[in-house]
Amino acid sequence: MENASKALIIAGAILLAILIIALGVFIFNQASDTANTDQLVSTKADAHNRTFQNYEGSGKKGSQVNSLIDEIRKNNQTCDADELITLEFTGVTGVTTITPTESNRQASAYSSAKAKIDTNEVYTISIEEFQDDGPYAGWITKIKVTKETAAP
Tens digits of residue pLDDT in 7-28: 889 999 999 999 999 999 988 8
- Residue spans per domain, the chain: 48-150
Residue 80 to residues 27, 85, 129, 146, 149, Cα–Cα distance (Å): 34, 11, 17, 27, 36
Render pLDDT for 73-130 as a digit per residue (tens, 0 to 9).
888 888 877 788 999 998 888 888 888 876 555 667 888 888 889 888 999 999 998 8
**pTM for this predicted structure:** 0.69
| CA proximity to 136, closest of 82, 99, 80, 71 | 82
